[in-house]
Amino acid sequence: MFAFSKLMLAIGIPQTLDYLIVAGGGGGGSNTISSFGAGGGGAGGLLTGSGIAFATATNYAVTVGAGGSGSASNGAYGTQGSNSSFSMVVTAAVGGGYGGSRNTGFQDGGNGGSGGGVGNGSTSNVAGTGTSGQGNAGGIITGSGERSGGGGGGASASGGTGNSSAGTGGAGGAGSASSISGSSVTYAGGGGGAGLNSAGAGGSGGGGAGGSSNAGTAGTANLGGGGGGGNTGAAGGSGVVILKYPDGYSITIGAGLTGSTASPSGGFKVTTITAGTGNVSWA
């Protein structure tokens, strides 16, 4: 395979790679008064592609986005997750939107790769929007009272609706599965919304569960899941960049990046970059 790959490049047939890029998930909203709900954080944006030509002895920039922080108080939002990018792909994966918190002016979910869920007490009931082709909107609230939060959006589904009359938080939206690593893994699930009586489950793909009179659960690292809403909002999970390319080539993971390359399988290598900013190159 090595000789064949080099021959193809030598006679002008470009080698290509496949990629998966996931941004950091958004932080969950807070309700420090236990009888109120808070929104779940949206998942980080997810991008996939194949057939991208690469050259040897050329640096390509990579950034893996960190998860956003959860809200620690009623009168504050958490933060949006950070973007992930690969310079061969023009579009960056956008960090997940924060979940809404309790208090005037802080209830609406934030926009992002996937949007954050609505926090309790919202009069506008506006969830965060997702980025087209990367994720979905956060969940809203129905019913009366201020005892529920919407779930954060995920890569393949919007966040679930919270029911304030019943005090139930909305579930996080489901993520999307990819087999680029050699086995099926689900990425970019939304965080669950908080609720007085029951909290929303985290979305498949690393979304953190919401809290019921307790803190939310953090999104899973390197899956880009949103953080759950709760008495204290939880942090979103960090993102990841995965590259699959012919096994005749060797990759160099530059300074500032953390990553590893799996043993060749089926004529390909797979490199998973889990943190940092820096360059990769092939020989």
Which whole-number Å values give the CA distances from 197 to 22, 157, 232, in the listed order? 33, 24, 16
Structure tokens at 239: 């993102």
Each residue's pLDDT expressed in tens, for the chain with a length of 283 residues: 444 445 444 444 569 999 999 999 999 999 877 657 899 999 999 999 999 999 999 999 999 999 999 998 877 888 999 999 999 999 999 999 999 987 767 789 999 999 999 998 666 789 999 999 999 999 999 988 778 999 999 999 999 999 999 999 999 999 999 999 999 999 999 999 999 999 999 999 999 999 988 999 999 999 999 999 999 999 999 999 999 999 999 999 999 999 999 999 999 999 999 999 999 999 9
pLDDT on residue 34: 63
pLDDT on residue 3: 45
pLDDT on residue 144: 83
pLDDT on residue 11: 40
pLDDT on residue 166: 92
pLDDT on residue 14: 64
